[in-house]
Amino acid sequence: MTPLSATQKARDICLMAPVVPVLVIDDVADARPLAEALVAGGLPALEVTLRTEVALEAIAEMAKVEGGIVGAGTLLNSADVAAAVEAGAQFGVSPGATDMLLTACEDADLPLLPGAASATEAMRLMERGYTTQKFFPAATSGGAPALKAIGAPLPQISFCPTGGISLATAPDYLALDNTLCVGGSWVAPKDLVKAKAWDQIEALAREAAQLSR
Ligand SMILES: O=C(O)C(=O)C[C@H](O)[C@H](O)COP(=O)(O)O
Task: Tell whether the torsion through CA atoms of 152, 116, 60 and 53 is positive or negative.
Answer: negative
Integer Cα distance of 181 and 87 in angstroms: 25
Please, is 66 exposed, middle or buried when counting C-beta atoms within 10 Å of its C-beta (0-12, 13-18, 19+)? exposed
* Top mutation candidate among 113, 134, 162, 192 for ligand 1, by most atoms within 8 Å of CB: 162
> Which one-letter amino acid corresponds to residue 103?
T
Could you tell me if the CB of 113 is within 6 A of ligand 1? Answer: no
Cα distances from 124 to residues 16, 105, 127, 155, 181, in angstroms, run: 26, 17, 5, 15, 22
At residue 179, the pLDDT reads 98
DSSP, collapsed to helix, strand or coil, labels residue 19 as strand
Integer Cα distance of 51 and 53 in angstroms: 7
> Which one-letter amino acid corresponds to residue 9?
K
At residue 150, the pLDDT reads 98
Specify whether 190 is catalytic: no
Percentage of the chain lying above the pLDDT 90 cut: 100
Q: What is the pLDDT of residues 4-57, one digit of tens each?
A: 999 999 999 999 999 999 999 999 999 999 999 999 999 999 999 999 999 999
Whether the ω angle into residue 137 lies within 30 degrees of 0, i.e. cis, is yes
Read off φ and ψ for residue 49, nearest 5 degrees.
Answer: -75, 140
At residue 19, the pLDDT reads 98
Of the candidates 81, 73, 76, 131, the one whose C-alpha atom is nearest the C-alpha of residue 105 is: 81
Could you tell me if the CB of 173 is within 6 A of ligand 1? Answer: no
The residue contributing the CA closest to ligand 1 atom 15 is 185
Tell how far the Cα of 183 is from the centroid of ligand 1, in angstroms: 7
Residue boundaries of the structural domains of the chain: 3-209
Q: What is the mean pLDDT of residues 75-91?
A: 98
At residue 61, the pLDDT reads 98
Banded pLDDT at 82 (limits 50, 70, 90)? very high
Q: How many angstroms from the chain centroid is the CA of residue 98?
A: 18
Could you tell me if the CB of 162 is within 6 A of ligand 1? Answer: yes
Q: Give me the chain's average pLDDT, please.
A: 98
Cα distances from 197 to residues 54, 91, 134, 186, 201, in angstroms, run: 20, 27, 29, 14, 6
Homologous superfamily of domain range 3-209: Aldolase class I (3.20.20.70)
Banded pLDDT at 112 (limits 50, 70, 90)? very high
